[in-house]
Amino acid sequence: MNIINFTPTEAAVGGALIGLAAVVLMAALGRIAGISNITYTLVDDWRAGRLGGWRLTFVVGMMLGAAAYYLATGASPVPERELHPGWLIAAGLLVGYGTALGSGCTSGHGVCGLSRLSLRSLAAVCKFMATAALTVFVVRHVLN
């Protein structure tokens, strides 16, 4: 094991901002900040002819918030690699189908579920952390 690029301060500050966002959504609207559910419900609403309301402004806000960081710091938002489109589509399908079937992702089960002390969310977090780590292990150390 080699520890690299460890940035605990930025990570904790960024994490606190994410937490603050979840608290605003709960205090103001009584809603869980679960990105997967917000996204699919937003698209479902569009298909039913309804405009997005707070879900639409939330997603737009997310894009603006990330853009503000990259504009302010001048850092590049483009990763130093180029994955094959087929690889990205497969990954996207798995993330989409999996988060819908499992009712949540890193934000809904991770941040909000763990904060609610939900055992169901804890089980989901352990499961997706384990398969994600196993997948990276297989891709990086077995296949390569």
Partner 1 sequence: MTAVMGLLAGLLFGLGLAVSGMTDPLKVQNFLDVAGTWDPSLAFVMGGAVLVTFVGFRLAWRAGKPWFDTGFHLPSATAIDLKLLTGAALFGIGWGLAGYCPGPALSTLALGNHEVWWFVPAMVAGGLLQRWQAKRSA
- Write out the binding residues for partner 1, residues 74-113 only, by CB under 8 A: 77-83, 85, 87-103, 105-107, 109-113
Q: Residue with structure tokens 């690029």? A: 5
| Minimum separation from the CB atom of position 109 to partner 1 (A) | 7
Distance from C-alpha of 5 to C-alpha of 22, rounded to nearest angstrom: 27
26 binds partner 1 (CB under 8 A): yes
| Minimum separation from the CB atom of position 80 to partner 1 (A) | 7
Question: What number of chain residues touch partner 1 (CB under 8 A)?
Answer: 112
Distance from C-alpha of 130 to C-alpha of 27, rounded to nearest angstrom: 32
C-alpha closest to that of 109 among 136, 93, 128, 130: 128
Distance from C-alpha of 11 to C-alpha of 107, rounded to nearest angstrom: 15
Write out the two tokens for 95.
Answer: 């993330």
**Among the listed residues 28, 45, 49, 143, the single contact to partner 1 using CB under 8 A:** 28
50 binds partner 1 (CB under 8 A): no
118 binds partner 1 (CB under 8 A): yes
Residues 51-70 that bind partner 1 (CB under 8 A): 53-70
